[in-house]
Structure 1
Amino acid sequence: MTANSASQPRAYVTPRALLTGAGAAEAVAAGWAWPLLGGRLAFGAMDVSMRKDGAVVRLGAIVRADYEKDASAIAPALRAAIESQVAALAPSRPAFAGFDGEEPVLMGVLNVTPDSFSDGGSHAGPDAALAHAVVLLEAGAAIIDVGGESTRPGATPVAEAEEIKRVMPVIRTLAARRIPFSIDTRHATVMAEALAAGAVVVNDISALAGDSKSLETVARSKASVVLVHMLGEPGTMQRNPVYNWAPGDIFDFLGLRIAACIAAGIPRARIAVDPGLGFGKTDLHNAQIMNHLALYHGLGCRLVLGASRKGFIGRMSRGEAALNRLPGSLAAALHAVGQGAQILRVHDVAETRQALAVAARLAGGQ
């Protein structure tokens, strides 16, 4: 692996050959692998790409032993960029919104909209919403993600007053029961209302860039935030989305949004990132993102993934409708956790919890 550049290159490092548990610790101790997320995982190889003058070039995959041997042949600026990313991958992540530990956190989806892509209208009233929230919690959700505006491809915007009218009765009911909840919105006024009622997380598909008051609203609240990548707006985002290299372009965007949050007074420990599957992405883009999912640990934040029931699952299979995409949703969830994702936004909590529990036990067998 060699590369020379007159300009400062940017490196993208995707961990490969991931190990868990005792095997991870042994490989790191022996110098065969690099630590990932505090040593809970380790990676024995890395897939490296670089951006130079706007273009992204894949340099290839390399195992640790070969990297150590060949490092002197890599241009110093590129080597420094690679090693900076490797260093960023190593530490454990602090607690996020009070959730800590190694177990994946499940964020149960509660849409109180008439037109969401998979469950629109099913939980619109406070009583129905509370009943479903209880089901999600009993199934293993740690937090309920309440949304009042459909952001499916082709959706039309909802007036903020209407969004507040939809979510606040449900939010007040959840708050009265001391049920942890997040607010899925891109509007600062909705954020403010939900935060005042006790929301612990803001989940924003515009990464706090869609409303000029969002950064200030979240910073003042001391709540946590999920920064989601979206290319364009829900109404038009699936009309020929174009990237240079989707995983790297999204990495750079999220890095800029993290910097904006920190500048506004939101510390990195209160930030999680979500690459935004289906939000302005073709199926190829979604596949590339999933293949390079561990790349996003290099941003130094907890990693969220929302793949549940999304359209690409049906298109990658037999065209199943949203309610028939559970097997594909579980496949995506298992892949994400295998790549170190810490938070999953899901509709089918019980099934996801069971799949993760069995996978964890199988991986822990000696």
Structure 2
Amino acid sequence: MNCAIELQRNNYSAKILNQAMDDDAGSWWWWTNVIGTLLFGSIGIIGNIICFLVVCRFSKQHHSFVEYLRSLAIFDFLSLLFECIQSLHDLFLYLFSINLLNFRSSILCKFYEYSNHVIILLACWTIVGLTFDRLILVCDPWAKKWPNLSRRICNSKCAKGIILSLIILSLIINIPHILYQEWICRNPGYQYSAAFIGKLYLNQTQLNQTSKRLICQCRISPHLSRFKQLLYIRWKIYVLHLLCYTLIPAIILIASNTVLYFPHAIVQTLSILIFPNYHRHCHIRSLIRIRILKRLSELLNIAALGINFFLYILGIKHYRSSAIQMLGLHHFSVFLPYLTVEHRNSIGSNLCTSRKFIRTNPQINNSTIKLLKIQNNKNNISKTENL
């Protein structure tokens, strides 16, 4: 179906068409996504660095949980770094027309996109591996038939093997990004987007003032045959985004991360199903709504990556105490109650117990202080009489 006639009949403005089909930069949902990504990304980057250092310095190396947590800290750190770079690129491009990701070469472009998608998959599936590891170890579903099976599965050696398998699979799955993408420049505007088919003439004064500026980024190569283009598009939409990155991990993680992951999974699925079938109905408003929901749900997903270290470090007493000690926060009395007994002994148990005794027994401590003052006064009087 040719949507040009339908769009002309509904009298859509060029701004709405650009936001739906080409670029929604400058909209309120775009600003929410960019600012939120930079905020949560910065917090997550710092937090995952702390998480990695704590796990490496204060953990028992033979535990599978340590291997998953260390890998998750690395993959989350890299994922958030890619997201922050992309948000800064979008922000600088919108405000100053500066392209931070101006690769000028298809090789660099391919490597960047390939690395980004590999890390995204690894961050997602490492959480799945960690969830299964804790589930098997805590619930021990085979305790009656095979009492020691859970311990054999949930160990450091097995965890390293699973993480290595995830890395290899992710590297293989994302090979089409290297094969079928190139560095391509095109004019901005809805009429140059892949979502628009047909001729539609609007008032040129309504178009963006940046219409002369070229937009360059990694796109599917136009030199590919029709069969390869459709193959890559189907793979990217259904295999990579819908199955590997959205539905399968979301179904596994719904029970433990419903609030942050489930909205993104739903909106991502809807966008994947609606956008390719847009030409059947030509509903611009539906595309706008999906784009708004996608921006906001992406922010929730980035927030989940940014606060993982809170759940795994601050939520576990031993790691929480180790982080306080490593950052030097144990010098402040506010953080002393959150230290473990082992860490209190290592930094001076006498000082910690005396402070705790003073806080819990202020009346007894005041009375002892008064007695000491009286004794000191008597001693001073006796010394003066002797003189």
TM-score, normalised relative to structure 2: 0.27
Between structures 1 and 2, the one with greater helix share: 2
- Structure ranking higher on relative contact order (CA contacts 8 Å, 6+ apart): 2
State the structure with more CA Rg.
2
TM-score, normalised relative to structure 1: 0.28
